[in-house]
Amino acid sequence: MLRGFTTVTFFADDLDRARAWYTTVFEAEPYFVREGAYLEWRVGDYQHEFGLLNARFAPHPHTLAPSGAIIYWAVDDVEAAYQRLLDLGATDHDKPTERGPGFVTASVLDPFGNILGVMLNQHYQDVRKDLTDRK
């Protein structure tokens, strides 16, 4: 049975530059470091793990062409989060778009060619509130 996500891993050709960029994005240093190879942060309400792997260790040849799945990070303000990522050097991938009541998404390309999404997700907010109310 699938129990939930553990770690999302992005690739970067310049791990030092990627570390500096994501440290700014997350406003925290990585908690786990394998110099020159891998970095990992714990991020958000549930301390999800975000990893950066030096592209030379990727299990497939890594290119800077975006493809594959998009990981969406829950945010309270999609427009503000999207603009902040652009201000930090990301480029537009998909402008903020309402997908239905309580669901707004946007995505950018980070400076290393990965797609990074942000989302206002009513379900996420409801679950988080429910868990907080139980405490």
Burial 22-50 (b: 16+ CB within 10 A, else e): beebeeeebeeeeeeebbbbebeeeebbb
Confidence at residue 68, expressed as pLDDT on a 0 to 100 scale? 65
All domains in the chain, ordered by first residue: 1-57 (3.30.720.120), 69-135 (3.10.180.10)
Confidence at residue 67, expressed as pLDDT on a 0 to 100 scale? 64
Predicted confidence (pLDDT) per residue in 49-107, tens digit: 999 999 888 776 656 566 667 889 999 999 999 999 999 999 999 999 998 888 899 99
